[in-house]
Structure 1
Amino acid sequence: MTTTQGAATRAPIAFTILPEAPAALGESPVWDEANGVLWWVDIDGHTVRRTDPDGGATRAWPAPETPGFVVPTRLGLPAVGMETGIFLFDPRTATFERVVRLDQTGVRFNDATVDWTGRLWAGTLSMTPPEPVGVLYAIGADRQPRPVVADLYTPNGLAADPARRRLYLADSHPDRQAVWILDLDATAWPTTAERRPFASMKDLAGRPDGAALDSDGNYWCAAVGGGRAIHVFAPDGALLRTVPVPALHPTKPAFGGPARNRLYLTSKGGPAPDGALAVADLAGVTGAPVVPWDLG
């Protein structure tokens, strides 16, 4: 066991609640290293949010469609996945510019991550009662969405591991509750992908939702659906630890702060503190660097 894995297993984690502007359905927290802020979205509240790490002040902007994810880009502006595509958001003018058009109808983007080459991986889900119409897309500098995996209910848990050249993908649906690995080729675009099983959460509290990697490649996965926890898995799929969290329905963790030694957590709204952003200072654990999306 490495030093980071040991810290991930043993170090106590105490969360502080940032009570300002709780969300109806907080999701997709991501650290923007270039701007030194945390971006996240409120899906049901239809807002894009930015939190200052010094003091926790949060500002929210209304989105023109239902937002599912936000990621930093190499242009210095965040990109937001919504119903009809992916939009660049300029907080200075509060404007959204669509840069990727989604041909699927009746869906919206949900979870997303960026791999070590700057490619965006983003999944869609049905806007109506759950059907397995979700698709995982890969999107590069040409801004063309390439379908890679289909037959998904609720794609989540996306995280890219450069050391092992792999992408993690989960499905939160009660019939699935699984996390898979996709082996990636950084020089070629996949047209199909064979998923390898990584971990099942059917015997654990909650279902897999959003996830983040620490600097040692451990996979931190929020347990939505009443789990009130983050499950931490080693790269070989072994469960290292279950971290108690203050929210009944945690949705996604994110490592942030200048040293990437803070853990942020979004959650579904409900009785306080549910819906509020939570943050914990970590001892001996740091997050993997966040790569911005390369739009060309």
Structure 2
Amino acid sequence: MEQRHLGRTGLRVSRIGLGTLTWGRDTDEHDAADQMKAFWEAGGTLIDTADVYGGGEAEYLLGQLVERLVPRRDLIIATKAGSVPDPYRRFDGSRGHLLAALDASLERLGTDYVDLWQIHAFDTGTPLEETLHALDIAVTSGRARYAGVSNFCGWQLAKAATWQLASPGIRTRLASSQMEYSLLQRGVEREVLPAAIDLGVGLLPSSPLGRGVLTGKYRHTTPPDSRGASELLAPFVEPYLDEAASRIVDAVATAAEGLATTSLEVALAWVRDRPGVVAPIIGARNAQQLTAALSVESLSLPDEICQALDDVSAPVHRYPDQDWSTL
């Protein structure tokens, strides 16, 4: 699998990443092992997790599998910290919480370091410089090799990345920003992506298949074994089942038919090759689904297909993105 630099750093990662959101909850040890083996054998290196996935079970399971199946040196392990199971405070970006969470992640993962440590979300209750100081400590102490953020809007990302570049002392450059991005969710193109490109931050798209909707599985019905049929995850899928999404899904299916491939591959290739994107993160239910996604490695979409998909999915951006002199 092709390797790409993560932002303006020397870290190289596979251009498709493996997500572990459901590991330890809906994905058992057997299916997780099959996924990891298939991913590694395909040349994949980037594995994404978080301290809250499965209540910590995703990290623990990943650590167990790395010990048994795949050499640690062959993987780029990325995890996140900052989300908390507190109804009154969803995010905690304090230095104390973040560093304690990192230590707990390392223990579950069974490793001395993570390759990429990301702040899961922006915490309005903590000064940003304190949150960023935790990243500096993590890297200088050797517990993390690179650092990034997740779910930061445009001004938050720009402020954080600029602070790290401009502040005196040893500061850790932000390597990544993990955000939802797909043909069904192009909001990052408004401010996040331009900021990331300008500041040398690599984008790691989550939900690149529009929460599974872009595969076409929901075109006519809801499969009983899908996320859309799950009591827990149905609210996650439902926003992408409207009429506007249906038009985009149909366009992807038409493109797939013309290219003699699948909707999954078309949708994934589109986001994988967008400017600023480093590696979409794929979450699969089993190894068969993952293998189907990894087959996208040999696909590059023709320019006219990309343009058609761009047109049908184009978000509406007006002021201030639009040239004000024409208003």
Would you call these one fold, judging by a TM-score over 0.5?
A: no
Instruction: Give 1 or 2 for the bigger CA radius of gyration.
Output: 2
Higher strand share: 1
Query: What TM-score comes out, normalization by structure 1 length?
Result: 0.31
Query: What TM-score comes out, normalization by structure 2 length?
Result: 0.29
Higher helix share: 2
